[in-house]
Structure 1
Amino acid sequence: MRALVTGSAGFVGRHMVVELRRRGWDVQCCDIVDGLDALHVFTFERDRFDLVVHAAASSPHRAAIDSQPVHFARNVQLDAAMFDWAVRTGQGRVLYLSSSAAYPLDLQTDPKWGSLVEDAIALAAVREPDAVYGWAKVTGERLAAAARKAGLPVTVVRPFSGYGADQTEDFPFRALVERARRREDPYTIWGDGQQVRDWIHIDDVIAGALAVVESGTEEPVNLCTGIGTSMLDLAGMACEQVGYEPEFEFRLDRPAGVAYRVGDPSRLYQYYKPAVTLADGVDRALSGG
């Protein structure tokens, strides 16, 4: 079995490459940091792959999302080129990594609205998603639907707050853990600390995505745990494991994102159940594993 992984040097991409190879796949990597632009591949590549994992994206972290809207154009360009190429060349199946940012903003303002279910996104009548990154992912899902109608098998997954020990500090989990490791005092948190996220370990993101691929379902599937934890509680968990009690300083002038984003894992549970708890994930990150 042959796979192409775009964005193979990124956080999700490199974990996907490792897992596919562990399962015996022949994997071709593609990442601009390694000198191979995905747009070049989508122009000239004619080989057929059993699976195309499209993880290439332009700076999908909060600061870039909020301050550099040009990433919208770059991400849409990447997605459109990929789907056009996959249809033209008859690729086996595409795994499209959408995002929980695609969900309507008005459902992420208060816990009373509950967990986000896949059907909350109606591609025929899209409600405003989270920032330009959310718009890019909604657009990508519409491209996926069009490609599916053209005969291309497409799997769409929506990862929530994926995390792991080898993320950069551009992402909140690693930033919060590293501040604890450095025993910073005061300990800075962007926003008021009450923003709630559904944290899912990268091992479960990869295993869950591949389980959905294997199912062959054409429905979008959340990659989530269904458990909400605030930024402040995550910071407190990391500080407790390190063994100190800092003063928390809340930076209301920094990008904080939506108030409440937790996924409904019911559909995912048909194919896979996440195995790594957040406490275990924090421990792994602090121990370097």
Structure 2
Amino acid sequence: MKTALVTGAEGFVGRHMAAELFDHGWTVQGVDIANGHNAHDFFRTETNRYDLVVHAAATAPHRAAIDGSPMNLALDLALDAAMFEWAVRTRQRRVLYLSSSAAYPIDCQRDVATARPLSEAMVRFDRYNIGTPDASYGWTKLTGERVAAAAAQAGLPVHVVRPFSGYGEDQGVDWPFGAFVARAKRRAVPFRIWGDGTQVRDWIHIDDVVAGALAVVETDVREPVNLCTGFGTSMLDLATMMCAEAGYRPAFDLREDAPTGVAYRVGDPARMFDVYRPRVSLAEGVQRAMQALVGR
């Protein structure tokens, strides 16, 4: 029986990853401060070797915290460093590092009219050409990828994936998708949207995030891989889809003074398509999320 360690096992990605591995017969150890397990203490004392370590732990990786709590940078850097040091020292068999599309240079994402899909090669570590990522969280992930590369040089098998805007039926209201579902459920009028509503994101269902990431591991891809669809949908269009599913047409309250992030963030899925193709469309994902709320 294969064994897996999932850090951040109570978070959105972590709990779906743990459930998928468990459903496929893995023995899963979950570590999360929410269930009383401090990862730093775990890495100091754990000596078991796992067939797969999935590192999904991060400190509140949503827009409000990214813009409002910049010192999360220090916490997340320390966590990533502790994990990789432990994984190399204890000779873990394989590590899957959950990076982020926030690692991409914001210069490539500022203008909807001129932006283009973000390909993996746009993240570079050339000393003269390192693009500025998205806020402190982006710097954390960019640095984490650098540490992952160092760990790989030390002999650790490492896989790096960059999820774009993951969503799902059980996502919390700190994220746009989860917040929109909650507002549509209560038929909010007006319907609040942070920003001017034109911000475009590449929405990928959590089932596809998990399956795509595990496909990267199973096929032993050692280069970073985007987890994305290649299609962009604006916040306003997403909200409109939610409200249509709920059966009403509200006025929208656009909060342009609220944290919004970059203007356009859509991934290039070519490398991902070599090993996996997303199966859940955004329309299906919206329908599933709204239907899931009916029985709550």
TM-score (norm 2): 0.96
- Tell whether the 8 Å contact from 1:195 to 1:258 is kept in structure 2 after alignment: yes
Root mean square deviation, CA, Å:
0.8
Output aligned runs, 1:13-162, within 5 Å. Answer: 13-111=14-112, 112-125=114-127, 126-162=130-166
- Tell whether the 8 Å contact from 2:101 to 2:163 is kept in structure 1 after alignment: yes
2:235 aligns to what? 231
- When structure 1 is superposed on structure 2, of 59-68 and 174-183 the one drifting more is 174-183
- Tell whether the 8 Å contact from 1:180 to 1:242 is kept in structure 2 after alignment: yes
Paired AA for residue 116 in structure 2: G
Alignment partners' CA distance in 2, 1:66 and 1:151: 36
Unaligned runs of 5+ in 2: none
Deviation at 1:110, TM superposition (A): 2.0
Deviation at 1:124, TM superposition (A): 2.9
Deviation at 1:165, TM superposition (A): 1.0
Deviation at 1:113, TM superposition (A): 2.7
SS of the equivalent of 2:9 reads coil
- Tell whether the 8 Å contact from 2:115 to 2:264 is kept in structure 1 after alignment: no
- When structure 1 is superposed on structure 2, of 120-129 and 53-62 the one drifting more is 120-129
Paired AA for residue 104 in structure 1: P
Paired AA for residue 169 in structure 2: A
Paired AA for residue 186 in structure 2: R
Report sequence identity in percent.
Answer: 62
Deviations 1:88-141 (A, max 9, x none): 000001000000000000000123231000000002342100000000000000
In the alignment, structure 1 residue 217 sits paired with structure 2 residue 221: yes
Deviations 1:14-66 (A, max 9, x none): 00011001111111111111110111111100000010000111110000000
SS of the equivalent of 1:267 reads helix
- Tell whether the 8 Å contact from 1:186 to 1:247 is kept in structure 2 after alignment: yes
Alignment partners' CA distance in 1, 2:35 and 2:278: 31
- Tell whether the 8 Å contact from 1:4 to 1:52 is kept in structure 2 after alignment: yes
Which 4+ stretches in 1 moved above 6 angstroms? none
Alignment partners' CA distance in 2, 1:80 and 1:236: 42
In the alignment, structure 1 residue 248 sits paired with structure 2 residue 252: yes
Deviation at 1:237, TM superposition (A): 0.3
Deviations 1:180-201 (A, max 9, x none): 1111111110000000000000
Deviations 1:255-284 (A, max 9, x none): 011000000000000000000000111111
Alignment partners' CA distance in 2, 1:14 and 1:37: 16
Paired AA for residue 202 in structure 1: I
Unaligned runs of 5+ in 1: none
Deviation at 1:238, TM superposition (A): 0.5
2:168 aligns to what? 164
Alignment partners' CA distance in 2, 1:243 and 1:62: 28
- Tell whether the 8 Å contact from 2:204 to 2:229 is kept in structure 1 after alignment: yes
Deviations 1:182-231 (A, max 9, x none): 11111110000000000000000000000001111111000000000000
SS of the equivalent of 2:292 reads coil
SS of the equivalent of 1:9 reads coil
